[in-house]
Amino acid sequence: MRRLFPVPPAPPATDPAVGSGGAETDREWSLAELAAAYAYPEPDGPRGTWLRANMVSTLDGAAQHDGRSQPISSAADMRVFGTLRALADVVIAGAGTVRQEGYRPARARAELAEARRSAGQGPVPAIAVVSASLELDFSLPLFTSPLVPTLVLTGAAAAPDRIAAAERAGARVVIAGDGVGVDPARALGALAELGHTRLLTEGGPRLLGQFVTAGVLDELCLTVSPMLTAGDAQRIAGGPAVEVPRRFVLASLLEEEGFLFSRYRRD
Ligand SMILES: NC(=O)c1ccc[n+]([C@@H]2O[C@H](COP(=O)([O-])OP(=O)(O)OC[C@H]3O[C@@H](n4cnc5c(N)ncnc54)[C@H](OP(=O)(O)O)[C@@H]3O)[C@@H](O)[C@H]2O)c1
């Protein structure tokens, strides 16, 4: 992986082993190095949280192929994906993505276990599933056997029998909306009350669009996949458009095998 931005320090011109263009970084980074590159900033703002999204998109803007993100991803993308999970207190995912991608509980990573302990975090981030219908298979390991209980974020009008089914499976149900659905800003407040301030969302596009329009997204880690798919796949954020495009600034840019790993923060 190579760092393109901020630009790496120029190698000494007299050292023939190093070459030019920051070649000393052109190797597989360890998880610890990636974790340092993606460290969460101090949360600011009204809730004391930092909401980061991690998404992958093709060159022509597709956020999935054949209904999944795997065909447009890469090994390096999965390393970044794993690193971002390892840094987060909680991973927020829409029920559509959880169903479509067959979400499983987060895996503990030995290399980053000590870093999590010293940051006051549990062994893995909790997965928080956002759902109005609660039409989720609560017999899956995501609900029955995670290392830390899975959260289910829903609205106050959610079906009581589905709430009971979630709780019987071992999930913790968090009400974060007055109707059937979840209010994005309220969801972040509810997670902060549970002590989760380093937040990561993995989409999908319908959920991410709501975080964007609610103005609560702090950072986007976007992998640009060097592929073209055409077709009518979703983009990384959907739903109603914002009135005025929201401006983000580039914080860092890494590259491996033509995949760009960008990190943008709100302006
Ligand atoms: N490229 C990427 O990085 C990436 C990332 C993630 C996913 N994906 C792809 O995106 C697709 C799935 O994404 P999607 O946009 O269709 O679905 P999604 O955003 O993952 O999930 C939509 C579902 O989440 C629940 N939901 C969303 N907003 C809610 C709210 N405010 N209150 C309560 N529930 C809410 C609803 O669940 P209920 O129906 O249960 O009520 C809704 O049907 C898949 O093809 C996946 O592969 C791509």
- Tens of pLDDT, residue by residue over 187-212, are 999 999 999 999 999 999 999 999 99
Q: Go through the domains of the chain in sequence order and give each one's CATH number.
A: 48-266 (3.40.430.10)
Instruction: Tell me the mean pLDDT in the region 166-191.
Output: 98
pLDDT at residue 25 greater than cutoff 90: no
Q: Which atom of ligand 1 is nearest to the CA of 68?
A: 47
* Residue with CA closest to ligand 1 atom 16: 96
Q: Which pLDDT value is given to residue 43?
A: 82
Q: Which pLDDT value is given to residue 45?
A: 77
Q: Which of 131, 210, 211, 223 to mutate to test the pocket of ligand 1 (most atoms within 8 A of CB)?
A: 131
pTM strictly above 0.85: yes
144, two tokens: 């029955």
Choose between 45 and 143: higher pLDDT: 143
Q: How much distance in Å is there from the Cα of 208 to the middle of ligand 1?
A: 8
Neighbours of 216 (CB within 10 A): 21
235 lines ligand 1 (CB under 6 A): no
67 lines ligand 1 (CB under 6 A): yes
pLDDT at residue 118 greater than cutoff 60: yes
Q: Which pLDDT value is given to residue 81?
A: 97
Backbone angles phi, psi at 236, to 5 degrees: -70, -20
- Closest to 250 in 3D by CA, of 224, 223, 219: 219
